Structure 1
Amino acid sequence: MNDDPTHRLYLDALEEALAETAAGDAPPQAPLRPLTLTAARARRRPAASVSGWTAPFAGRIAAMDALLGEAGEDDWGRETVEGWTLQELLAHLAAKDGLVALSAGAPVLGPPVIADEALARTAELQEYERRRVPEQTRRDWRAQADALCRHLAPLPPETPMTVSGFTMPVADHLLARMLETWIHTADAAGAAGVRLPDPVPGHIEPTADLCVRLMPLTMLMRGHAVAEGRAVRLVLTGHGGGSWHVPLHPGGRAVREGGPAGAAATGRDTRGGGPADATVTCDVIEFCFLVGGRGEPARFAAGVEGDAGLARDLLHAAPALSGP
């Protein structure tokens, strides 16, 4: 039986999702594969203690690994996104995890890194993995990700780190890896006809916080010249959501209103924000996926009060940092 605490955390979340559906607390959805249900019930234990700022990423790695544990030969060869098979998608995740590991001095599996650039490393690693059986790809992807978590855990989360020329706190780099792993796990699950539970709220909240804090940068990248003093209030509904005041000028710092555990843990300012030109209200998970390149900004479901043009610009700019 698997004693990995992050794996048990995933199974706990799966069982909780099933219990909510059975109790009528969640809308009915497509059924999960029987094997997934059996695994969750067979391995149900008291809630595992997974702590520390690496836990959101570790939780998504465990979720993806649980999904891969059910993959048959047809699943590994099935197209997911970008024209990639499941094995190629996993190689893409391993490539980008490996670039974080390279910057952190953690182990990097596979061929030596020639260029510290995501698409180049993805192509290189996909070519390498096509010559191996899928279980070898899965094994090395998981081993590299677990080693990265162990290597980073002792570091202060605000430690600056540069990955592919982009510098930000190491905790934010790992939250970015959490978001991409979450999205690609959903891609793989959708291709296989499997429904997975959402991350636990304590993992959604810091990820949503990162997505919100990226908004001034995404606006800049989309060419929106926003004068100092212009701001929006983002209200993200659902478990792990909250309200943020977001100054949109370059260098503006988003502030979570109310002071969540995730923001306090990294020492960020959690005081209330100021006035806003627009208030945008939407679902927290849908917003995270929009930032991650899933969803159509023009059709994105959001309530808007105030300056509708500014709100529209923000939602269209949200995916600016997303990639394959």
Structure 2
Amino acid sequence: MEPVERLYLDALMEDPAVPERSLRPQLLAGARARRRPAAPTAPWAEPYAGRVAAMDALLASAGEDDWSRVIVEGWTLQELVAHLAAKDGLLAASVGAPVLGPAIGATDSLGRTADVQNYERARSPEQTRRDWRAQADALCRHLADLAPGTVASVDGLDAPVSDQVLARCLETWVHADDAARTASLRLPHPIPEHIHPTADLCARLLPWTMLLSGLDGSGRTLLLTLTGPGGGEWHVPLGVADAAGGGAPDAHITADVVEFCFLLGGRGDPGSFPADLEGDLALAHDVLNTAPALSGP
């Protein structure tokens, strides 16, 4: 499967300087030997399954020092992987898939994360990695027989399961990048066929990120042009109840598709985000400034 093979670390791009005690030497040898393909799932869930496989390849040969290194949010790599397992488990519970790890007590992301992290701290990092991958694979297999429009609820937000899974794809992608950057590695991006639906979700979230930030874009429209493999063009009505329509947009934003996805994922400074803006510049800046509103730890 050539598209899935593209997600593995064979294509790792190395930075010029290799820091002392980097996990790169083990990664390139060990991850290739121990990599596991993406779990079988529904076509619309393949972007998520691909990022799980890529993250797992990154983790395959992490050493003891790597697992205890702080990555983001004050979390070590082991705690970060437990966080991913926690959120995957909440989605699994919502759609009737198996939930692994401790029994669900807290049903919000932060509470469930704390429960799973406490559970995994008593286990080895390799056990945590296996727990997370088993949870992700169980979810993928369950999705194979699920209609994409099935409503799923995570953190009180009801949405089609296909959108919830794309949100899991984006978060897994962002956190895999967090872990790779901490180790001075750069993971290859997903294939364009996986980037495009993720970017589509990000575009459709813009009315909600504005509303969550206290701005109502009703009656205004944005032309969003995302460049690079997997990009495209979206005519976005900025009110959550607005119907899609034609006509001249009020503002136009042109940006790199990967950078835009990462902005929605909470990475990057909206104030200095590299984009070409046209039309109502105040509106365009409002869109960019509020874009990360739905991102969380």
Global fold match (TM > 0.5): yes
Of the three residues 60, 83, 107, the one matched with 1:69 is 60
Match of 1:107 in 2: 98
1:160, 1:168 within 8 Å by CA — same for their partners in 2?
Answer: yes
Match of 1:310 in 2: 283
User: Could you tell me how far apart the structure 2 residues matched to 1:245 and 1:278 are?
Assistant: 10
For the structure 1 residues 17 and 233, does the alpha-carbon distance in structure 2 shift closer, same or farther, using more than 3 Å as the test? farther
Residues 1-324 of structure 1: matches in 2 within 5 Å? 9-14=3-8, 17=11, 30=16, 33-38=24-29, 52-228=43-219, 230-252=220-242, 273-324=246-297
Q: Which has the higher contact order (CA 8 A, sep 6+)?
A: 2
User: Could you tell me how far apart the structure 1 residues matched to 2:238 and 2:85 are?
Assistant: 33
Q: How many residues were matched structurally?
A: 289
User: Could you tell me how far apart the structure 2 residues matched to 1:40 and 1:128 are?
Assistant: 26
2:10, 2:28 within 8 Å by CA — same for their partners in 1?
Answer: no
User: Could you tell me how far apart the structure 1 residues matched to 2:156 and 2:189 are?
Assistant: 31
2:30, 2:60 within 8 Å by CA — same for their partners in 1?
Answer: no
User: Could you tell me how far apart the structure 1 residues matched to 2:176 and 2:152 are?
Assistant: 26
User: Could you tell me how far apart the structure 1 residues matched to 2:32 and 2:92 are?
Assistant: 35
For the structure 1 residues 253 and 290, does the alpha-carbon distance in structure 2 shift closer, same or farther, using more than 3 Å as the test? farther
Displacement of 1:286: 0.4
Displacement of 1:273: 3.9
1:188-222: per-residue Cα shift (whole Å, max 9, x none)?
Answer: 11111222100010000000000000001111111
For the structure 1 residues 42 and 138, does the alpha-carbon distance in structure 2 shift closer, same or farther, using more than 3 Å as the test? closer
What secondary structure, in the 3-state scheme, does the structure 2 residue paired with 1:233 have? strand
**Normalized against structure 2, the TM-score is what?**
0.90
1:244, 1:273 within 8 Å by CA — same for their partners in 2?
Answer: no
2:8, 2:53 within 8 Å by CA — same for their partners in 1?
Answer: no
**Normalized against structure 1, the TM-score is what?**
0.83
For the structure 1 residues 293 and 134, does the alpha-carbon distance in structure 2 shift closer, same or farther, using more than 3 Å as the test? same
User: Could you tell me how far apart the structure 2 residues matched to 1:15 and 1:141 are?
Assistant: 19
1:246, 1:252 within 8 Å by CA — same for their partners in 2?
Answer: no
* Structure 2: gaps of 5 or more residues: 19-23
User: Could you tell me how far apart the structure 1 residues matched to 2:33 and 2:106 are?
Assistant: 44
What secondary structure, in the 3-state scheme, does the structure 2 residue paired with 1:167 have? strand
2:41, 2:141 within 8 Å by CA — same for their partners in 1?
Answer: no
User: Could you tell me how far apart the structure 2 residues matched to 1:287 and 1:129 are?
Assistant: 33
User: Could you tell me how far apart the structure 2 residues matched to 1:285 and 1:308 are?
Assistant: 22
1:30, 1:195 within 8 Å by CA — same for their partners in 2?
Answer: no
Q: Which one-letter code corresponds to 2:179 in the other structure? A: A
2:263, 2:269 within 8 Å by CA — same for their partners in 1?
Answer: yes
1:274-298: per-residue Cα shift (whole Å, max 9, x none)?
Answer: 3201110000000000001000000
Displacement of 1:142: 0.4
2:27, 2:62 within 8 Å by CA — same for their partners in 1?
Answer: no
Displacement of 1:162: 1.8
What secondary structure, in the 3-state scheme, does the structure 1 residue paired with 2:6 have? helix
What secondary structure, in the 3-state scheme, does the structure 2 residue paired with 1:96 have? helix
Match of 1:267 in 2: none
